Structure formats: C-alpha cells, structure tokens
Amino acid sequence: MLSGLLDGIFSGISLGSVLLLAALGLAIVFGLMGVINMAHGELMMLGAYTTYMVQNALKGTPLFGIYIFIALIAAFIVTAIFGLVLERGVIRYLYGRPLETLLATWGVSLILQQLVRSVSWQLVTIVALFCLLFFGAMWIVARRTDFERARGWFLTIMIPLSAAAAIATGNVLGTLYKPAFTKLWFDARNVDVTAPKWLRGGFPIAGTQFSYARIFIIVLTIACVVGVYWFLNNTSWGLRIRSVTQNRTMSACLGIPTKKVDALTFALGSGLAGLAGCAVSLLGSVGPNTGQNYIVDTFMVVVVGGVGKLAGSIIAALAIGTANYLIGSNTLVDLTAPIKPLSDTFAFFSTISMAKVLVFALIIAFLQFRPGGLFPQKGRTVDA
Amino acid sequence: MILAHRSLEAGSLQLEIKLVDALIQSKPKARQRLLLEAGIVAAIALLLLFVIPPILVGSGQGFRVNLLGRYLALAIAALGIDLIWGFTGILSLGHGVFFALGGYSLAMFLLLQLPDGQLPDFFSPYGVTELPWLWQPFYSLPFTLFAIVFIPTIVAAILGYLVFRNRIRGVYFSILTQAALIVFFNFFNGQQKLINGTNGLKTDTATIFGQTVSSPPIQAFLYTLTILLLVGGYALSRWLTSGRSGRLLVAVRDDEARMRFSGYDPTMFKVLVFAISAGLAGIAGALYTVQSGIITPQAMNIAFSIEMVIWVAVGGRATIVGAILGTLIVNFAKSILSEQYAQIWYFFQGGLFLIVVTVLPGGILGWLREDGVRLVRSQINKRRPLQTYPSLEEDPDVQYERKNLTNRESDR
C-alpha cells in the first residue's frame, strides 16, 4: 500500500511537471497580455518534432549521447522564432480583443497541424518564394510616399500574383525532381523519439520503479521554473515584463517599450512550449495531434493558478497532475477500501477519462470560492 | 484615460441616437417592415422547400439535398451561437455538448422503437440484459421532445449559473466551457455499457412509423421539419434581439460593469441567453443526427465546437441572417473542397479563422452593410451616411484622431 501511494505520488508529480512545463509559457503570456494562445499545444508539437529531427541528424555521430540537450536548445530557438513571427504577424493586431485572439490562434493551430502532415520541400519552396516575392515587393513599394493610398490595390494585385508565381515554380520543380522534392517529411503517422541510453530504464526504491526519463522531466521542469523566476526577478527585461503585467498604461507612460516587451514575452512563452514538447517526446510517440492532448489540462492550470504569481501555476499544475493520477489509478480505491461508499465512488471514476470528469467538477467547485484562481492579480478595477 | 472616456461617450451617443431612431419610427411603419420581413422569410422557406430540392435532384446532385438539410440543422445551432457570442459577447467553446445531448436524446428514442422486451442490438456484446435506467424515460415521445430541448437547457443553466455568478467571464469562461466539453466527451466515450461509447448510436436503421429513418419519406419529413424549426429559431432570435431585451444583451457585451451599475443583474441575462442557445443547439443536434444517421462522441470534439463560432463569424456577428448564411457557405465550401483536396481544407479553414478575425471582423454581411454600401455610394458620388454630425464626421482632424489615437493598446 505504501509503495502504491509512493508510486502514485511520483507519477502524479511527473504528470504535473509536464503540465507545469507546458503551462509556464501560457501563464506568463496570459498574465501579461490577457491572450490565450490556442496554438500553444501546436508549438509543443513543433518542439517535439524538432527533437525528432535533431535526433535523426545526430544519429551515428559521437554527439548522439547528448543529443537531447542539443534538441532542447534547438526546440527552444525554433518555437521562440515561430512565436515571434506569430506575435508580429497576427496577435499584435488583436490586443484588447482576447476572444478574437483565441479564434485566430486556433486557426494558426489548424494550419500548423496540417503543415506537419503535408510539409515537403515543395511546400517549403512555395511558401518561401511567396514570402520573398510579396514582402520584397512590399519593401520596394513601401518606400514611395503615397503607399498608404495605393495599399488596397497593391494587396489585390500582389497577393494573387506572388501566389501564382510561387505555386507554378513549386509545381514545375516538383515534376522535375519528382521523388525527393515532393516526399513528405513526416507524413500523418506518429514518429518516435528514442531516448538516449542513459535515460532508459530506472532505479527501484521500495518496490517502485522510478523511470529516468520522468526524473529528467522533473529536473528539467525545476530548471525551467528557476530560470524563469530568475529571469523575471533579476534582469532588466524581467522587471519590464512584471511592470507591464501589473499596469500597462503606467508602464508605457514611464517609457517602457510595451510592444517590445510583448514580443519578447510571447517568444519566451513559445520557447517554453518548445521545451515542453521536447520533454513530451520522451514519454511517447509524437503526432500532429500531440498538442491537442495537453492543451485543455494546461488551460485548467492557468485558470486554477491565477495570473498573479508563478507559484499559482506551480501549485495548480502539481495539484491537477496528482489528482488526475490518484483518481485515475486505483490508488484511492485501495486507500479508502474500509469506507465502502467512498471506495465505490472512487472506483466509478478510476479510469483516466473519468478522472478528468471528477477533476473538472472539483475545479468548478474550487472556482466558487476563489473565482480568480489561487493567486489572483490584485487591482482596483471593477471587474477584477 | 481621457481618450477611453471619449470613446465611451461616443458609444453611448450612438446608443442614444438609435433610441431616438426607434422612437421616430412610427408604429404602423414598424409593422409594415415586420410584415415585409415575414414575407421574405416565408418566401425563402418556400424556395428551400419546393424549388431547391427538385433542382438539385434534377441536376444529378440529389445527395446534396440531404447535405442541405443537415446544414440547415446546423444553422439552428449557429443561431444560438450568434445569440450568445454575436449579441452578448460570451464565447462558448462547448456547444458541442448541447448539440450531442439533443442528438443522443432523439437517438435513444429511435433505438427504442422495438417490439416489447427487446433491447437495442449494441447492448448484447457488452452483456447488458436489462435496459439501463437512463434509457427508461425515452420510451415516451413527449418526454423525448421535452428532453431534446430542456436537457441541454438545464445543463447550460446550471453550468452558466455556477460560472457567471462568480463574474467569471471572457477568456476564462471560454476555457471552462472547453474543459466541460472534454469532460462530457470523455464521459460519453467511456460509457460503453450505457451508450455504446466511441461507436455512438446509429439511427439510420431504426424504424419509426413503420419505416426506416433513412427512407425517403421520413427524410423528406425531417427536411421540412428542419426548415420549419429554423424559421421558428429565426423568429425567436429576432424577438429576443429586438426591443429592450436585445439592447440588454448588447449592453452585456459592450459594457457589463456599466449595466450592473444601472441596476440590472447581468448574471440572470447571461444564464438565460446561454440556456436558450443551448436549447437551440439541442434541437440542431437532434435534427442533424437523424439526417446523418449516427451520433457519436465526435460531436463533442474541440474542433467542431469552435467551427460553430466560425460559421457565425463568416456570416457576420450580431446579424441573425448572417449566422444562417455563414453556416451554409462554410459547410458547403467544406464539403466541396474536401471532396477535391482533403489537405487544402485545413489550410483553408485555418486561413478562414485568421481572415475573419483580422481583415473581416464584421463577416460577409457586416462588410456588405458597411463597406459595400459605402463603395456603391462613392461610385455614384453620394455623401456617406452620418452617424453623428457633419462637423464631427467630416472634419479630417477628428477623423485622424479617431483612427489613430483611440483603441490603442496602451488605452486598455
């Protein structure tokens, strides 16, 4: 029974640490900009795929033993750049409209999922060529002083023109170099990341197997939390982020570049999603839908934790992870066996999917007492 | 702060002007317009009933009649989304739950149309020999009809009350509804012995009035029923959004705090409109189920519920016709595009979300009403209509200020 409980707590914490890693970036971005990024799960997925690609690239080289660290860095950089593009390209036009942002980022997540399924050199060429033509032309034309007036015409002419040119070139190249050029990179199938040798297996304590991969994830999560905490509290940009989170207008008045802060924070949050994706890839195979499995739980962490403090996210993630595992496994059923009705109730909820039902009910009940989460942001506005 | 205040004033000014407009319109004229609208609606309904199906069948596209029926059923759900999102500004990502509840209710009734003592087929592999208590009430038709509308309504009212009571709103509410969706999805998926889990309930082989549900007469009847209920839903939405109640809904969207300070209780309005929209989704779910022949927990996946929002967004927020129009356009685009290129559809759909939110926030109807009218007017050199005064609207300085200095992110 003790080993069962130990096992339950360990698994719960490791589940919670994955959630925390995923929720960390989301919570920071949500706290700062009030924006829920529905594509966060897909950014995780991109991180996982980056890990897969790094693993394939380093296979057979002496670096393979430590590829996971290289993959972590690569995943962070790739997703951070992607987040930056997303913020600059879409989200910055939608500040102050959180619901619209939610829909727009959902659109981005759909595109990303399909992108992973159908990415090939052909598609990459088409997109790159389109961007080159369109933004190149924009760069040239935008120097004219009367650009604002001709903007509508420019868009209606240049978008179809560059799209047609890019697609035509892509198709011609596709037929010329048929198999290599049009071959899909990943396909719709799931891909597997094999952990390096020193991460496989685990060590037993009191009859429970502690897997190294899960311990690695817990350590990674702790490192990330400490890193983010240090960044927010000890650097000048961290100070600016905290300041804008507390009061955007006042910060802007005091000369803090809020737009830069927004972009930087979004990139940071996306990069953290990439790290989470890297961690997730160690737990199982990775597919285009991987992100979807984590996203709702991650949102719940943000809702329960509140946006005021990092500690809220930590406690919420660990609580939700542990509760999910304890209810979903049979641990609680065994523990409460002496009390028959209680044990029967837990037995009814003791599958992974039914555990979510009970956890959601608990969250709703919790929000009746603390609508703003564990650590709500303090303020004097009417709706706080 | 000053700017924010000014924009608030402009908003209230517009509201007052609309009020004055409403007063100026004399009663007989309003009645005339109402009659005209009813006439147009009736004409379109008759067109859908008697003209479109023969044309489609004649051109060899007979299966599209069934699709049209399904999409018209979805349009009923879109009306509900428009009520809460378009008018009241509450974004629910969990309407799949209510849709599925309605669908399951009707499916359970249809599956029970068996000789006495028999159980629906799917029970036998699970070794269930006795009808679960959950199924018992669905022997009766009146209860089923009641359940289709009111089970979703009651679930929504309870959930809505628990959430709105605490002034949880905006993005938080959206996320919570999405979590509720996942919870119901998991629950329905997991209960094999109760409702056949992942496989769902098949209704197309069930019999009613001595005929299978998928037979042409029954389907024709369902098509007619869908159109009638859609017209009913349209009338309900129009009634709710016109007059005082409509202004209250918009007030919740635009400035809830101000509404509360004026002595109204937004919670009850929000619960009410959320419950009504859930009821509409329930009806839509039931009609969609019998026309597509199956209901599975997939009706509660995340994507489907968000798609409902995009139907409304494409047609035009806060325009009731827009919800119906958007549903038909998006769904037919989906069925035609994914027949040809399955991959493109996802890119297209993702792009649709982005475009509707960034470039076309008013949707198709919003664009027609604002920019389309302006475009036509500028072509024939007429002055554009003014909402306030010429001295305000035609002063370039004022316009520059309005365009560039309001709604900046630092004003939030």
Q: Which of residues 76-105 of A touch B (CB under 8 A)?
A: 90, 93-96, 98-104
Does residue A125 lie within any of the structural domains? no
Do you know the residue count of chain A? 384
Q: Which residues of B touch A113 (CB under 8 A)?
A: 346
> Is the CB of A100 less than 8 angstroms away from the CB of B183?
no
Decide: B80 and B278 in contact? Cβ < 8 Å: yes
> Is the CB of A102 less than 8 angstroms away from the CB of B171?
yes
Does residue A132 lie within any of the structural domains? no
Q: Over chain A, what is the mean pLDDT?
A: 82
**B267: which residues sit within 8 A by CB, 6+ positions away?**
B161, B164, B165
> Is the CB of A354 less than 8 angstroms away from the CB of B187?
yes
Decide: A244 and A43 in contact? Cβ < 8 Å: no
Smallest CA–CA distance from A299 into chain B, residue: B175
Q: Which residues of B touch A291 (CB under 8 A)?
A: none
Distance (Å, whole) CA B269 – CA B88 = 9
Per the structure, the count of domains in chain A is 1
Does residue A231 lie within any of the structural domains? yes
Contacts across the A-B interface (CB distance below 8 Å): 135
Interface test with A, best of B175, B252, B404 (most A CBs within 10 A): B175
- Both structure tokens of A331: 């641990």
Closest-CA distance of chain A to residue B373, Å: 17
Q: Which domain holds residue A97?
A: 2-119+184-369
Decide: B294 and B114 in contact? Cβ < 8 Å: no
Helix (H), strand (E) at residue A1: none
Decide: B79 and B65 in contact? Cβ < 8 Å: no
pLDDT band at A37 (very low <50, low <70, confident <90, very high): confident
Does residue A139 lie within any of the structural domains? no
Smallest CA–CA distance from A307 into chain B, residue: B172
Predicted confidence (pLDDT) at residue A382 exceeds the cutoff of 60? no
Closest-CA distance of chain B to residue A357, Å: 5
Q: Which residues of B touch A259 (CB under 8 A)?
A: 409
- The pLDDT, as a whole number, for residue B97 is 93
Interface test with A, best of B85, B169, B171 (most A CBs within 10 A): B171
- Establish if A338 touches chain B: CB-CB under 8 angstroms: no
> Is the CB of A249 less than 8 angstroms away from the CB of B410?
yes
Q: Radius of gyration (Cα) for chain A, nearest Å?
A: 24
Distance (Å, whole) CA B165 – CA B87 = 20
> Is the CB of A296 less than 8 angstroms away from the CB of B407?
no
> Is the CB of A109 less than 8 angstroms away from the CB of B350?
yes
Closest-CA distance of chain B to residue A141, Å: 21
| A52-80 burial: b if 16+ Cβ within 10 Å, else e | bbbbeebeeeeebeebbebbbebbbebbb
The per-residue pLDDT for range A230-266, each reduced to its tens digit, is 998 899 999 998 888 888 888 889 999 988 998 999 9
Q: Which residues of A touch B159 (CB under 8 A)?
A: 364
Q: Which of residues 235-264 of A touch B (CB under 8 A)?
A: 248-249, 252, 258-259
Given its phi and psi angles, is residue B319 left (phi above 0), alpha (psi -120 to 50 degrees) or beta? beta
> Is the CB of B91 less than 8 angstroms away from the CB of A99?
yes
Q: Which residues of B touch A182 (CB under 8 A)?
A: none
**A108: which residues sit within 8 A by CB, 6+ positions away?**
A38, A39, A42, A86, A90, B350, B353, B354
- The pLDDT, as a whole number, for residue A306 is 80
pLDDT band at A198 (very low <50, low <70, confident <90, very high): confident
Distance (Å, whole) CA B406 – CA B412 = 10
For residue A98, give the nearest of B171, B182, B257 by CB distance: B171
- The pLDDT, as a whole number, for residue A196 is 75
- Residue B264: alpha-carbon gap to chain centroid: 26
Distance (Å, whole) CA B145 – CA B138 = 9
A222 CB-contact burial (10 Å; exposed 0-12 / middle 13-18 / buried 19+): middle
pLDDT band at A207 (very low <50, low <70, confident <90, very high): low
> Is the CB of A106 less than 8 angstroms away from the CB of B306?
yes
Closest-CA distance of chain A to residue B395, Å: 19
Helix axes B95-111, B141-164, angle to 10 degrees: 160
Q: Which residues of B touch A249 (CB under 8 A)?
A: 1, 410-412
> Is the CB of A360 less than 8 angstroms away from the CB of B180?
yes
Residue A83's Cβ-side half-sphere holds a number of Cα atoms within 13 Å equal to: 32
Provide the 10 A C-beta neighbour count for residue B88.
25
Distance (Å, whole) CA B377 – CA A152 = 18
DSSP state at residue A63 = G
The reported pTM is: 0.84
Q: Which residue has the higher pLDDT, B327 or A36?
A: B327
Reduced 3-state DSSP string for B117-169: CCCCHHHHHHCCCCCCCCCHHHHCHHHHHHHHHHHHHHHHHHHHHHHHCCCCC
Shortest CA distance to A75 belongs to which of A46, A115, A40? A46
- The pLDDT, as a whole number, for residue B14 is 55
**B201-202 and B294-295: which strand pairing?**
antiparallel
Smallest CA–CA distance from A257 into chain B, residue: B410
Q: Report CA-CA distances (Å) from B240 to B77, B82, B266, B366.
A: 16, 12, 15, 20
Smallest CA–CA distance from B352 into chain A, residue: A107
- The pLDDT, as a whole number, for residue B103 is 92
Smallest CA–CA distance from A102 into chain B, residue: B171
For residue A353, give the nearest of B190, B302, B354 by CB distance: B190
Given its phi and psi angles, is residue B131 left (phi above 0), alpha (psi -120 to 50 degrees) or beta? beta
Interface test with B, best of A40, A103, A366 (most B CBs within 10 A): A103
Q: Which residue has the higher pLDDT, A382 or A157?
A: A157
Does residue A287 lie within any of the structural domains? yes
Closest-CA distance of chain A to residue B72, Å: 23
> Is the CB of B183 less than 8 angstroms away from the CB of A36?
no
Interface test with A, best of B176, B356, B357 (most A CBs within 10 A): B357
> Is the CB of B166 less than 8 angstroms away from the CB of A110?
no
Mean pLDDT of the region A284-306: 83
Residue A202 in 3-state DSSP? strand
A376 CB-contact burial (10 Å; exposed 0-12 / middle 13-18 / buried 19+): middle
Distance (Å, whole) CA A114 – CA A269 = 22
Shortest CA distance to B315 belongs to which of B101, B108, B86? B86
Distance (Å, whole) CA A345 – CA A332 = 10
- The pLDDT, as a whole number, for residue A96 is 77
Decide: A80 and A266 in contact? Cβ < 8 Å: no
Predicted confidence (pLDDT) at residue A144 exceeds the cutoff of 70? yes
Smallest CA–CA distance from B348 into chain A, residue: A111
Helix axes B302-315, B320-340, angle to 10 degrees: 120
Shortest CA distance to A270 belongs to which of A20, A39, A3? A39
Given its phi and psi angles, is residue B201 left (phi above 0), alpha (psi -120 to 50 degrees) or beta? beta
Does residue A318 lie within any of the structural domains? yes
Please state the ipTM of this predicted complex: 0.82
- The pLDDT, as a whole number, for residue B19 is 53
Would you list the domain boundaries of chain B?
62-310
DSSP state at residue A65 = G
Distance (Å, whole) CA A215 – CA A221 = 10
Distance (Å, whole) CA A21 – CA A228 = 11
A118 CB-contact burial (10 Å; exposed 0-12 / middle 13-18 / buried 19+): buried
Residue A378 in 3-state DSSP? coil
Q: Which residues of A touch B176 (CB under 8 A)?
A: 303, 364, 367
Q: Which residues of B touch A304 (CB under 8 A)?
A: none
Reduced 3-state DSSP string for chain B: CHHHHHHHHHHHHHHHHHHHHHHHCCHHHHHHHHHHHHHHHHHHHHHHHHHHHHHHHHCCCCHHHHHHHHHHHHHHHHHHHHHHHHHCCCCCCCHHHHHHHHHHHHHHHHHCCCCCCCCCHHHHHHCCCCCCCCCHHHHCHHHHHHHHHHHHHHHHHHHHHHHHCCCCCCHHHHHHHHHHHHHHHHHHHHCHHHHCHHHCEECCCCEECCEECCCHHHHHHHHHHHHHHHHHHHHHHHHHHCHHHHHHHHHHHHCHHHHHHCCCCHHHHHHHHHHHHHHHHHHHHHHHHHHHCEECHHHHCHHHHHHHHHHHHHHCCCCHHHHHHHHHHHHHHHHHHHHHCHHHHHHHHHHHHHHHHHCCCCHHHHHHHHHHHHHHHHHCCCCCCCCCCHHHHCCHHHHHHHHHHCCCHHHC
- Look up the CATH number of the domain holding residue A361: 1.10.3470
The parts of chain B modelled with pLDDT lower than 50 are: 1-10, 13, 409-412
Considering only A81-85, A212-216, A270-274, which range has the smallest mean pLDDT? A212-216
- Bridge partner residues of A286 (DSSP): A191
DSSP secondary structure string, A211-250?
EHHHHHHHHHHHHHHHHHHHHHHHSHHHHHHHHHHH-HHH
Distance (Å, whole) CA A345 – CA A327 = 10
Does residue A76 lie within any of the structural domains? yes
Cα four-point dihedral sign A155, A157, A163, A165: negative
